[in-house]
Chains A and B, each alone.
Chain A
């Protein structure tokens, strides 16, 4: 290991700059060379102060303040547990897998520091099969984690498995399915202990904030949404993949960087719980939740799919709506029946089945499903479909009136 005590705070990009070109994970020695040693000298409250000062929020999609999440388990008399959530089950998203496969020590450092910040002795890394080996190998490489023991567990690769109560239930020996709340994991989680669940990208940022401080973190991004974030771009782009963006930077810049089709008609922003945005809007949009709010969108899971001119947004949405219906945990009636019925309605539009399409019925179903499941799966699915009806209103009309679909070419939105 090199003798570097503190390395220089990395410029943008922060998380992805050190990746190797040969597709191998960054080894511990190279990681320490780049970012410096794990700051085990920091007291728990010093770590928490730095996180609070940074304004870091959850990078899994919900944007909950990380400092508040850490604070939520401090009042309990039971020793808390930290879980790193790397169960990235969303088909258009790959950012968490990229981090775990290529820069695992950033995530592991973050998990150790989060554990030390709340007095936990255990940090568990929840992963899926594709990246598990890389994480396990990285854990073996590590020497001193200041009394925090790291372990990794493979979760089934299904959409709802990444929901935090599903992760907790699985780690407790049950199925990887969401549970009714309360109790929330911070109240009673893994082994009954108060549990802090943080997305793996959140932990990677946390590892750097602990080293370089809150002011460094805030030196990019906007005052309300500080820092950088990983975004997965796919669809009609020359170089699909994971990009590190500054929050609040121009959407057009990211599109240019990834070689997006300049003739694109629309973008899906925020993954399959996200929102379609018309291409005309995207030219001036910024990559922040505050700016995207004017289009009814947010960065959400930070997956962006570029829809080329030749595709039909209604057809694409119908395919994914069926997938989301099939991915229901099948635990809650409104989700099981509602999502299936919504997928039926869309397929009637697209395939001209014997039953005539009924846009009124589809809209009524969309308005009835949200907030009625144990988890956010139905809410996300209906928001996604509702945005398609707004943005692709011309295509919707064509389908309703039995005109020929203008879409052609291969499917764009990725499915497993």
Chain B
């Protein structure tokens, strides 16, 4: 597993649907053509496909982001550093 995850900016997404064609393993489309994205970490084997989907999105709505630690975990980390 990578520490990357796909996310869509729903304000930009126009339901072109290319992403679901490029990584059907992680993205399916709803009945209106908008992507439903698995927010689990992208498996290493699919990383290049995910990058291709990000690059192919006509509205630049698809993002491949480093997964953030949960806020509670971050607070914990801060406290233990202090």
Please state if A333 and B10 are interface contacts (CB–CB under 8 Å): yes
Note all chain B residues with C-beta closer than 8 A to A180. 9-12
Partner pick for B11 among A331, A341, A365, CB 8 A cutoff: A331
Give 1 or 0 for each of B1-36: 1 = CB within 8 Å of chain A CB. Answer: 000000011111111000000000000001111101
Q: Are A337 and B34 in contact (CB under 8 A)?
A: yes
Chain B CB within 8 A of A373 CB? yes
Pick the contact of A334: B9, B14, B30 (CB < 8 A).
B30
Question: What's the A-B contact tally at a CB cutoff of 8 Å?
Answer: 41
When C-beta atoms are compared, the residue in chain A nearest to B39 turns out to be: A371
Task: Let me know if A338 is at the binding interface, CB within 8 A.
Answer: yes
Interface size on B, residues (CB 8 A): 15
**Min distance, Cβ A373 to any Cβ of chain B, angstroms:** 6
Give every chain B residue within 8 A of A335 (Cβ-Cβ).
10
* Distance, CA A331 to CA B13, complexed state (A): 9
B62 to chain A, nearest CB (A): 13
Chain A residues, CB < 8 A from B10: 180, 331-335, 372-374
Q: Which residues of B contact A368 (CB under 8 A)?
A: 30, 36
Contacting pair A179 B11 (CB below 8 A): yes
How would you classify the secondary structure of chain B's contact residues: helix, strand, loop or mixed?
A: loop
Contact A337 B32 (CB under 8 A): yes
A57 to chain B, nearest CB (A): 15
Cβ contacts under 8 Å, A338 to chain B: 30, 32
* Residues of B close to A332: CB separation below 8 A: 10-11, 13
Count residues on chain A whose CB falls below 8 Å from chain B CBs.
Answer: 16
Q: Nearest Cβ in chain B — how far from A344, in angstroms? A: 12
Chain B: CB-nearest residue to A332:
B10
A335 and B30 alpha carbons, distance in the complex (Å): 12
Q: A333 near B36 (CB under 8 angstroms)?
A: no
Closest A residue to B68 by beta carbon equals A182
Mark interface residues in B27-58 (1 if CB within 8 Å of A CB, else 0).
Answer: 00011111010000000000000000000000
Query: Contact: B34 with A374, CB < 8 Å?
Result: no
CB neighbours of B12 from chain A (8 A): 180
Contact between A374 and B36, CB atoms less than 8 A apart: no
Of all chain A residues, which has the CB nearest B33?
A333
* Chain A residue contacts of B8, Cβ below 8 A: 372
Give complex CA distance A271, B58 in Å: 38
Per-residue contact bits, chain A 14-48, to B (CB 8 Å; 1 contact, 0 not): 00000000000000000000000000000000000
**Nearest B residue (CB) for A373:** B10
Check if B32 sits within 8 Å of A372, measured CB to CB.
no
Cα–Cα distance between A4 and B32 once the two chains are bound (Å): 64
Residues of chain A within 8 A (CB-CB) of B31 are 337, 341, 365
Contact flags A318-337 to B (C-beta < 8 A → 1, else 0): 00000000000001111101
Complex CA gap A338/B30 in Å reads 9
What separation, in Å, do the CA atoms of A9 and B31 have in the docked complex? 57
Query: How far is A333 from B16 in the complex, measured between Cα atoms in Å?
Result: 11
A372→B11 contact, CB < 8 A: no
Q: What does the 1/0 interface line of A69-86 toward B look like (CB < 8 Å)?
A: 000000000000000000
* A141 smallest CB distance to B (angstroms): 40
A163 to chain B, nearest CB (A): 13
Distance in Å: Cβ of A43 to nearest Cβ of chain B: 21
Roughly how many angstroms separate A180 CA and B31 CA in the complex, as a whole number? 23
Q: Does B11 lie within 8 Å of A374, measured CB to CB? A: yes
Minimum C-beta distance from B16 to chain A (A): 11
Contacts of B33 in A (CB 8 A): 333
Q: Which residues of B contact A372 (CB under 8 A)?
A: 8, 10, 34, 36
CB distance from A226 to the nearest CB of B (A): 20
Question: Min CB distance, B48 to chain A, in Å?
Answer: 25
- Nearest opposing residue in chain B for A335, CB measure: B10
Among A68, A180, A333, A374, chain B packs the most CB atoms within 10 A around the CB of: A333
Q: How far is the CA of A333 from the CA of B32 in the complex (A)?
A: 8
Closest A residue by C-beta to B7: A180
How many Å lie between the Cα of A335 and that of B12 in the bound state? 13
A–B Cβ pairs within 8 angstroms, 7 of them: A180-B11, A331-B10, A333-B34, A334-B30, A335-B10, A338-B32, A341-B31
Which 9 residue pairs spanning A and B have beta carbons closest together?
Answer: A332-B10, A333-B34, A337-B32, A180-B9, A331-B11, A180-B11, A374-B11, A334-B34, A368-B30
Known pairs A333-B14, A365-B31, A374-B11 / 11 extra A-B pairs, C-beta < 8 Å: A179-B11, A180-B11, A331-B10, A332-B10, A333-B10, A333-B13, A333-B32, A333-B33, A334-B30, A372-B10, A374-B9
